[in-house]
Each structure stands twice: as C-alpha cells, then as structure tokens.
Structure 1
Amino acid sequence: MALLLAGCSVSVAPDNQASAANASEPAGPAQWSDTTRAQLRQAIDGRAAHGLDQMSFASDATDPAGLTKQALAYASALARGATDPTKLYDVYTVPRPNPDLQAGLANALSKGDVKGWLASLAPADDNYQRLSKAYLAFRKQPSAPATNIPANGDAIKPGATDPRVPVIARQLVILDYLDPKAAQGQQYTPAMVQAVRGMQADYGMKPDGVIGQEALAILNMSDADRARAVAIAMERLRWLERTPPATRIDVNVAAARLTYWRDGKIADSRKVVVGEPDRETPQLGSPIYRLVANPTWTIPRSIEDETAAKGAAYLKANNISRKDGWLVQAPGPKNSLGLVKFDMLNDHAIYLHDTPAKQLFQMTQRQRSHGCVRVDDALGFAEMLARDEGVTDEWHQARGTGKETFVKLPKQIPVRMLYQTVLFDDSGEPIVRNDPYGWDDRVGEALGFKAGKALRVETHASDEGP
C-alpha cells in the first residue's frame, strides 16, 4: 500500500482557509482540514461496527502524511478486507473488489466528506448490517464468563433427569430458544426437547433432541466466541465484490449448500457434499463452461493407490480399468461422477458433479468428498441450467448417447466457492454454525482476536469419488 496519497496535499488547512489565493487561479490539490481529520478519527473510533475494534489503524496520526497513510489503511480494510485471503489460504481465487482508494480519498478531501466516503466502502447489504448489529450486541459484555456445562457424561435424552439441565435451560433461554417459564427443575422436558431440536436445526446438526457433545459445544459458546465468529463473517463479506454477477452459483462450503442466482434472484438452493477435513474444497472463483453427459472418471494420482488397493474384483465390478497409465472408470450408473459433470475452468481439478452415493445428502455434516462438489439431484440441476441457457435439446441428445458427450454453454456461469460459518435464521438473526475446516481461526487471529472457541464436527468418512 502506498504511504502517501497521489494527488493529495500533505498540508493541513484550517476549515476557514481559502482553497486558492483568488478565483482566477487553478485550484490546488486536496488538503486535510480540521473537519476531515476529525471525520477520519470519528470513523476509526467507530470501527467496532465493522468488527475491526481489535485493530488499531494507528489512530494517533496528526501529520498529513500520517493521516493519509491511516486513511488508506482503514479504507482498504473496509473496501477489500483488513486481511488478505490469498496469504491466509493456499488457494483463494474468488474475485475481490479493487477500488481506486487514492483517487477516492482525493475526491473525499476535495469535497470535505471523508466520513461519507469511508461509509460507502463497506458492504451495504442487509446481511452485513445484521452482522454489524449482532457484533455490537455481543461485544457489550466481552468479559462475561463462558458457560461451562460439563461434556464428560452421558448424552441427555428426552425425559431424562440430569443435574446439568438447569444450566442448559438457562442457556436455551438466553439464546431465545426456550420460554423462561419452561426452565424449571432437572428434568429434560418436552418443551426443552423442542427447543434443543430447533437449536440443532439452526446449527446444521441432526435435530434429534439428544444433548450430546455437539449440542453442548453450542451451549458453551460465550458471547466473545460468537462476536469473533461474526467479525470473521463480516471480514469474509468485505473480501467479495460488491456487485457480483447477477447470474451465478454460490457454494457455501462450510454449510455444504449451493445457491443458484439467476438475473439477481435466487432460482434454486440445494444440498451439496464437499471435501472432508484434510481434503478441503478450496475457495475458488471458477466458471462452469460445459455440461458433460455420461462422464468418465480419470482417477487422480492422489487417490489412485487408495482405489487400486481395493483389488481387481472391486475394479471390475465398478467398471474401472487402466488406460494409458491411468485408472479410468467408464460411464454408467456406478460412475463416481454419476450421470453428469459440470466442467469448470480452474487449475485445481475442482468441479461440480452427480454421485451414485445419494445417501450422503441425508447426512447433516456433508464434508465427505475428496474435494469436488457433489450436487443433490444433479440431473435436475443440469436440466435447469440447460433450460436457462437454451441448450435443452443438445443436453437431451447428449444424455441419450450413453457415452461421454460434451455440451458447451453459450455463456459461462460463474461459480464462487465461499466459506461462511454464520448464517441467518428465519427471523434474520445470525447463527454461528460449524467451522468444519477450522478456517475461522486464521482469519480471527489476523483480525487481532485471541483464539476463540469454534464449533468442529469431525467427519473423516469420505467414500470413493472426487
């Protein structure tokens, strides 16, 4: 980042100082004034609204060069994020905003409105505003002790009596899942069971009403833990383009869910299966450029030994043979790519596809692949894309061949692989969900937060397939 602002003066002018000696002379470069300097200080002092209060931004600057450096640093944090995801992760190719901050500051100074310019840089959508409101609420009592409900005991089943129930009930009331009048005694009552089921559903867990370690992990989260998660969610939104393509596909890898946007509106949403921990689906920006009917699967070298070790009988039963030195699975219902592949342009061999393992979509934690994204009812989704792109006839013909056949889309459809651990319930309140890859930690640390408690669910249950 440049330390001095091109086109901005390094002198500070009093508010009442004329901008030029007389009206006939050309206007000089924009200057810092008492007003714009106060606006900058006020904006940085209010940085908690963006979850940035753990960072200082050198708020003691007084000289023009220091003010310029400070303004650009804070503006960059709002406009692009205070952290760089390409440095935090091995792979991050999702398109990011890139405004001309030097020109923006020069214009703001000339208008005397640094406050308005800074306010315009952060995301303005409803989700960001909700996160901001939630963060400020969570940070009101940052030193409040975390609830410590012992997890070293049997899971609490409906109807059971347990000394932990009163504390659990109190937490359910605080989280607004339980009516205070129902929080009585040590018995796990039907009202509490319903409250726990609602909480489990919100947090992406199996809503069975049994209070095990996963449910206790939620109940034991402090407001400081939740505040950290919300601040991280805001940072991830700042990484993104303010006006993404109106037609696109967003995959939330953390929640294992796909959203299809068409002309600025949500056209479809469905479950997906993504990479398991240690085989994570990367955060990519990569378009779908063609549909592949009846795909073959060339097994990557990274899992070739794993597949070959299953023996000749397994390979034969699953139509896998060696061709040109590679293990290749022929098209058909047993193919690990299923009956359709959504080919994408990237250097990481990551794409969307069908799968014969339909049962995985019924699981709550769906981080179970080798890195690619399996789509629930992929044939139905392919039909939708083919229709919207005007290639339905070509798609039907390709499917009917029974052989691997390619259908190029007239226009590429952008896909963003995102990672958001804070979602919103039906009332618009943010819910801190599972962090399956532990990716929140590195962002939180870069934002200045101490190590916090994040929800983890270990799956390690991937099957055959990419």
Structure 2
Amino acid sequence: MPSAKGLMPLILVVGMLLSMSGWALAEEGEAAVADALAERLAEKEAGLRDFYAAREGRPAWQEAETVGGFAAALRSLEADGLTPQDYRPDALVAGYRQVQAEEQAPAARARFDLQASRILLTALRHLQRGKVDPHSIDPDWEVPIDAPPLDLAAVSRAVDGQRFEQAFALARPSAAPYERLRAGLARYRHIERQGGWPKLPQRQQSLRPGDIHDDVPLLRERLAIIGELEVMVADLFPGVESGAADPRRYDDALVEAVKRFQRRHLLEVDGIIGPRTQEALNVPVGERIAQIRVNLERARWLLHGLPDSFVLVDIAGYRISYFRPDGRVWRSRIVVGRPYRRTPSLRSAITHLTLNPTWTVPPTILREDVLPKVRRDLGYLWREDLMVLGPSGQRLDPREVDWSRPGNIMLRQRPGPQNALGRVVLRFPNEHLVYLHDTPAQGLFASEQRAFSSGCIRVQGVLELAQHLFDDTGTPAHVASLVAKGATRNIYLERPVPVILHYWTVHPGEDGELVFRPDIYQRDAALLSALDRPLSG
C-alpha cells in the first residue's frame, strides 16, 4: 500500500484531470449554447445581433454570479429616476435558476441568454435616450435625441467583469447637470425616508420680517431640513444659548434663509411668507422627488452631443445662456410664451440677425389680439405705428377696410423704438416661426416669473449677445453702429451658431443646489405618467 507521501502526486494528477474535464465540459456546454444563439440571432433585432457580434457569439449570462450581479445593478437604476421593476430583476434570477435546476438543453439556455441581453440593452437605451418618447407626449417636439452609438465592445467587457455600473455609465449622460440631478434625487429620497418636512398651517395674513408667531419654529425646521439653515440648535430654537431671543420671532437670519428658498423656486425674493411662498414650502417631498425624476428623463433626451459653443434657452427657468467658444458663458433673463401660447422645445441654428426689424403681425396674434382692438378703436393702428397692407403688399387706407371682414390683409409695424421686436432679431429656421429678439417692454424682465410673450423669446441685453455672436463667428459687424443708422438690414453669420430651446422644471443652480421652477406649461404630469407606465411584454 502506497504511503501518504506517495499518494500526494497521484491525488494532484487526478485532481488536475478532473478539473480539466470540468473545464472541457463547461467549454463544450458554452459552445453548444453559442451554437443555439447563432441559430436564433438571425431573426432578432439589430441591437442584439450587434451585442453578440461584439462578443464573437459567446453567451453572456451562464454564470450565477453574473446574473445575480446584473439583477442587483438593475435595482440600482432607481438612482436615475427609473423604475427597477420595469426590468424584472427578480424574474431574471428566477429564470436563471429554473434553467440551471432543470439542466435544460442549450436551446433553452440560449433563449435565457437572449432575454437577459435584451433587458440589458433596454436599460442602456433608457439611460442613454430616455424611457419615454418625447413625441408621444409633445406633438410639437423638435429636438432630435443626438445620443452617440453605444460602445458594445466596452459593454461586453463590463458584463464579463461583472462591472455593471461601468456599463451603465457608458450609456447615461456624462454632463455635470445630470450627475447633480442624481445627487439631488438621492438627497430628497433621504429626506423622505426621514419623514419629510413639516407642513405650515394655512394663514390668512402673510408672515413678515420681525413678526412673532407660533409658525416660526416650524418654518425654521422646514428650511433646516433642506439646508437653507445650518442644522444647529441655535438655528432651530433661537435664544437657547442666551435665553433672550423669542424663538417665535421671524428674525434676520430666517428672513435670509427664506429669500434663498424663494430664489431657488423662482418666487419674488422679498422674505415675506405670502400665499405663493407658503404653497411652495408645503409641496410634499414626494412631489419634489417626482419632479426631479421627470427632469432626469428630460436630461437623457438632451444632454448628448452638445456642441462646444451654443445658445441654450431654458424656458421654464426664464434664462438664456450662450456658451462661447473661449469657455466663457454669457447669461441673461428672458420672457417666454404664455401658457396658452407656449414657447416650443426645438433645436436649430442661428443663421442671421435682423437689425432695426419691421414686424408683421402673425396670423394668430392678428386674429385673437389685434383685430378686436382695432374694431373697438381704429386709432390703435396709429398709436402702434401699424401699416395696413393688402395681399400683394400694397398700402391700404385703414378707413376703407371693412374691419368686420378684413379679408387677407397684413399689419406691419415699422422699425423704431416701439417696434414689438425691438432693435434686433436673432433668426433660426423652425416651423413655429419663433426667434430671439429685443423688446421695448424692458420692465417685464424685473419679474421672477416671465411668461408674457406670444411664443417668441425676448432677451434682456440682446444687443450684447448679438455682438458676441458676430465676434465669435468672425462676422465683421458692429451692432451699435448699425442700429444707429436706423435702416432694416439682415446680416448673416459667417458660421451658424446652434441654439436649443428646452423645458426644465428642475435644474441645478450654479452652486449645485437644485432650483425648482413652476410647471408653467403643465407638462410634468403627462411625462411622469408615461415614465411610470409599466413596460409591455
């Protein structure tokens, strides 16, 4: 009988042979699944074929650790505002166990592999381009989703290494605003888990600086929860240390915190707790979470393929930003369309500027706004410096027009200080005939919420923006000199400048804090409903 020492080499050899046999069986099984995959891929969608082509036909989901890790990663998509159950992580794990427990044929294992890969590609597509098709909720949508092709070879390597967060990162927008929205979502969900924030009782009178009221400690707590006040005993209960101040006094520190809150919610920044400020304070944290989720979806539609230099019109934020080629950013206030004459979302390019423009009254404004005024008082035409033109452009005498049935006339306003378009118009092709322009009504820019126009965008300081566009595109023109000449003139840019008009009701501020805006066009509810609708199939 061999000694224990003599048995050791024999045991090692047998172990190696058994291990090699296991490897061979595993390779043989994987090869059989790969053959079954190849038979089925010809009839599958292009995305699946491309994914397996990047893998040279190898199956991806034959190991328990890989499937389990993928299921856990799918549950983490909640951090992007998506619904993990859309991707059925529990059913995925159960399906794998069933296939393995029954030792099913390679064809069944191939079907499971295809199913899991389809779920992966669906999740990646949702992260990259959004779950909801924007055209399904906004028929006027004109912004192409310019996401780059996915690097499926890199995705395949991430799957093999069970680095699913890395695979997701390849798909989701890499822009800083998207990451700030994700961070904000995590923060507000944490607040929700802690019980949310208190609701202020309805008040008949506004709470003003210096007032003493029982609601003040509750207001302190509300603002401390979201970080407008530092969370300190002295903040929540003033006078604890000194024993002097009344904790019910609406003091200067709290007023400043309220003003910050108002600024982040596009309210009038006056420190007064009136009806609109109280309404914003009492929005439940769950509604704020839903609002962030909706805007993460909008970010997935937009934040890909952005040029280095472009003009961004933030409709719900009443702001315009020009990202210049040298890295500087020019920002200003804007006036946008009223709720019943909405400024559309679109993507185009500024091609030329009109200096000292005339203004031809658009048909809708003519029919709904101007004609009723003219019928009441013909002098309106002279006060607004409006010419009456016939169908072929001939000048008509207003007194000879039957204003009850004016026919196919046009009203055109001459250039001048009262022209509705001001002194300059920035033009870009679009079906809605909207553009960026100056305005004689400069006082409207003082309001925090500025939905006053008929769809076009009025820009504060637009002459400065126009000069930047000329300078940055090498267009030899001086705005102030040309405006002073008074003549109407079109000047084409040497290079068109991309322009994007987009609608955000939550956006990270310059300091990273989330800014919540009123949903002036009532678009959030339809998008949230579509985002929460379960996937079919």
Q: What interval of TM-score do these two structures reach, taking the shorter chain for normalisation?
A: 0.7 to 0.9
Correspondence for 1:431 among 510, 515, 525: 515
Alignment of 1:209-288 (within 5 A): 209-263=271-325, 265-288=327-350
| Aligned partner of 2:129 among 73, 80, 83 | 80
The structure whose Rg is larger is 2
Do the aligned partners of residues 356 and 187 (structure 1) sit closer, same or farther apart at CA in structure 2, a change above 3 Å counting? Answer: same
Change (3 A) 1:264 1:38: farther
Assess if the C-alpha contact under 8 Å between 1:4 and 1:65 holds in 2: no
Choose which of 470, 480, 486 in structure 2 pairs with 1:386.
470
Count of residue pairs brought into register by the alignment: 435
Q: Which residue of 2 aligns with 1:167?
A: 218
* Deviation sequence 1:373-403 (CA, Å, 0-9, x none): 0010112221221122222437567535423
Number of the residue aligned with 1:337: 421
- 1:148 partnered with 2:199: yes
Where 1:42 maps in the other structure, the secondary structure is helix
Query: SS of the residue aligned with 2:187?
Result: helix
Q: Among 99, 111, 116, which residue is 1:67 paired with?
A: 116
Letter of the 2:370 partner, please give it: T
1:33 pairs with 2:62: yes
Distance between the aligned counterparts of 1:49 and 1:139, measured in 2? 10
Q: Which amino acid aligns with 2:207?
A: I
Residues 317-364 of structure 1 show CA distances to partners (whole Å, capped at 9, x for unaligned) of: 211122132111111111000010111111111110000000011111
User: Aligned pair in 2 of structure 1 residues 54, 442: CA closer, same or farther (>3 Å)?
Assistant: farther
Is 1:51 aligned to 2:81, yes or no? yes
Which residue of structure 1 lines up, in the alignment, with residue 370 of structure 2?
307
* Aligned-pair CA distance for 1:4: 7.0
Q: Are 2:51 and 2:156, in contact at CA under 8 Å, matched by a contact in 1?
A: no
Distance 2:228 2:58 in 1: 57
2: distance between equivalents of 1:345 and 1:30?
Answer: 48
AA of the residue aligned to 1:308: L
CA distance in 2, matches of 1:225, 1:46: 21
Q: Which runs of 5+ in 2 are unaligned?
A: 1-43, 96-111, 238-246, 391-408
Partners of 2:422 and 2:485 in 1: how far apart? 15
Q: Indicate if the aligned counterparts of 1:5 and 1:102 stay in contact, CA closer than 8 A.
A: no
Secondary structure of 1:246's counterpart equals coil
Cα separation, 2, equivalents of 1:409 and 1:364: 32
Instruction: Tell whether the 8 Å contact from 2:353 to 2:490 is kept in structure 1 after alignment.
Output: yes
Q: Partners of 1:264 and 1:229 in 2: how far apart?
A: 34
Secondary structure, aligned partner of 1:342? strand
Residue identity opposite 1:366 in structure 2:
R
1:102, distance to aligned residue in structure 2 (A): 9.5
Pairwise CA distance, 1:57: 1.7
Give 1 or 2: higher helix fraction. 2
SS at match of 2:346: coil
Is 244-253 or 265-274 further displaced after alignment? 265-274
Cα pair 1:200 1:207 within 8 Å, conserved: yes
2:270 is equivalent to residue 208 of structure 1: yes
- Contact 2:221/2:236 (8 A) holds in 1: yes
One-letter code aligned to 1:342:
L
The change in CA–CA distance for 1:9 and 1:206 in structure 2 (over 3 A counts) is closer
Q: CA deviation at 1:406?
A: 0.5
Q: CA deviation at 1:121?
A: 0.5
The answer on 1:418 being equivalent to 2:483 is no
Percent identity between the aligned chains? 29
Check 1:152–1:106 CA distance in 2 against 1; reply closer, same or farther (3 A cut). Answer: closer
CA, structure 1 residues 3+291, in 2 after alignment: closer, same or farther (shift >3 Å)?
closer
CA contact (8 A) 1:250 1:415 kept: yes
Mind listing any 5+ residue stretches in structure 1 that lack a counterpart? 11-18, 20-26, 451-466
Displacement of 1:168 after TM fit? 1.5
Q: Which deviates further from its counterpart, 354-363 or 375-384?
A: 375-384
AA aligned opposite 2:206: A
State the TM-score, normalized to the length of structure 2: 0.75
Deviation string 1:435-462 (CA, Å, 9 cap, x unpaired) is 2222222222222299xxxxxxxxxxxx
TM superposition score normalised by structure 1: 0.85
SS state at 1:328 partner? strand
d(CA) in 2 for partners of 1:101, 1:388: 33
Deviates more, 1:104-113 or 1:375-384: 104-113
Q: 1:253 and 1:183 mapped to 2: Cα distance?
A: 37
Q: Does structure 2 retain, via aligned residues, the 8 Å contact 1:250–1:258?
A: yes
Change (3 A) 1:110 1:217: closer
Q: RMSD of the alignment, in Å?
A: 2.8
